[in-house]
Amino acid sequence: MSYAYLFKYIIIGDTGVGKSCLLLQFTDKRFQPVHDLTIGVEFGARMITIDGRQIKLQIWDTAGQESFRSITRSYYRGAAGALLVYDITRRDTFNHLTTWLEDARQHSSSNMVIMLIGNKSDLEARREVKKEEGEAFAREHGLIFMETSAKTAANVEEAFINTAKEIYEKIQEGVFDINNEANGIKLGPQHSPASGGAGGNRPRQSSDGGGCC
């Protein structure tokens, strides 16, 4: 299938916070209460539309356990967006955010858009982390924030799509060098013939061209 851009995402966060379930809800629109333990990295992909343009999200779902970090780190490089997930019913998963964030920032491009996600918002009765705490953390570290529920699908679409919108805006503003794949963005196959030689460093031009149709 053709697309204008491909954005590479990673999903990170402690084990058991619901990373794979978020991905499954986003790509398959279903919830699987017992999901296989992720070993290493698994994948998902979905096409979305922003400003009438097809964008393929390629999502790398990483294993949460620390022992896998040596391998998951190598995946940070070349990601345009990251979903950093914690579980609102487990305080420790919130406490570990700083470590995850440091890790992500250290191993990724400085332009990577990071969305902080407090998952399992359907379990209000077992909440250990207040929404305000999440918001404060996000503000302090310059992240976008959202609470989601992979079970009820609340905010799941929004989380993935808002991240994409932010990346898209950065492309339009010329912040991302889209010809460097290490940034996690790739021009789609439909781009090259349509924009005739826009392979150069002019992302804004080519996106303007697409916008007028």
CB of 22 to another protein, least distance (A): 15
**Per the structure block, which two tokens stand in for 186?**
């790739």
Q: Is there binding between residue 47 and another protein (CB under 8 A)?
A: no
Q: Choose, by CB under 8 A, the member of 13, 44, 118, 184 that binds another protein.
A: 44
Closer residue to another protein in complex, CB, 70/110: 70
The answer to whether 106 and 135 are in contact (CB under 8 A) is no
Coil, helix or strand at residue 185: strand
Count the alpha carbons within 13 Å of 33 in the hemisphere toward its beta carbon.
0
Residue 58 CA to residue 157 CA, distance in Å, equals 15
Q: Should residue 35 be labelled a site residue for another protein when binding is judged by CB under 8 A?
A: yes
Alpha-carbon torsion (12, 18, 20, 22), positive or negative: negative
Total binding residues toward another protein, as defined by CB under 8 A: 24
Minimum distance, C-beta of residue 35 to another protein, in the bound complex (Å): 6
CB of 135 to another protein, least distance (A): 27
Taking the C-alpha atoms of residue 160 and residue 23, their distance in angstroms, rounded to an integer, is 9
**Residue 74 interacts with another protein (CB under 8 A)?**
yes
Among 55, 63, 112, 198, binds another protein (CB under 8 A): 63
Q: Give the distance from CA 95 to its chain's centroid.
A: 20
Contact residues: another protein, CB under 8 A: 6, 15-16, 34-45, 58, 60, 63, 65, 67-68, 70-71, 74
